[in-house]
Structure 1
């Protein structure tokens, strides 16, 4: 494969590449990984969330800031280091009463963590669904 610096060749590229940028591999669309669909829509949620971290028998509560909320989980930023797979308790300030839910840390991106709610009953799921109707949808 050869590239030329001649003006008439700019923008041309070998068929094995997807763009004129050298070294950018081309992947046929049929083999591209599928973008996973979220099970529940996300909604903007910018409230203080308390995160109960259990180290031993007594949970320690730290504060975080909500990023988004969905029926299946929440995104929260915090300065506290958590590990993927940790189980915590989230206290989410929803009207008329805060919701307290067990959750699992499922991702971390910098100081933002994604939590999946665990063992939600129908009443809790409905409470979150109704609360989300008052929030602005993400994406």
Structure 2
């Protein structure tokens, strides 16, 4: 877990401040509810959901200007999924661009400002938020 922490913020005179990195990694683990054998353990020892939370912690911690979120809540429990949605909305509010790729229509309707449907490699931009019309587009049928 600790290896994913961006060390640049924890340098002084070109030297890494290991104690600060450790404290930051611990704080991220608590904030994102990453559960595992400890912050020095390799990420592959974590469960799938905890690996996903770890990846999200690393991404959101860097406050990127662009986020490509591919199925960001798949495999997460409802609480963790709600936390991811909240963090995506916060990132959008601070000006980050977010491309959300999802098969979950509820998630799309909850998070997306604009919706672009892709079916069999073809794009269909839609201005509707009607579930039935979107479902037809997702199935490759004209709405």
TM-score tier by shorter-chain length is under 0.3
Higher relative contact order (CA 8 A, sep 6+): 1
Between structures 1 and 2, the one with greater strand share: 1
TM-score of the two chains, using structure 1 as the length reference = 0.21
TM-score of the two chains, using structure 2 as the length reference = 0.21
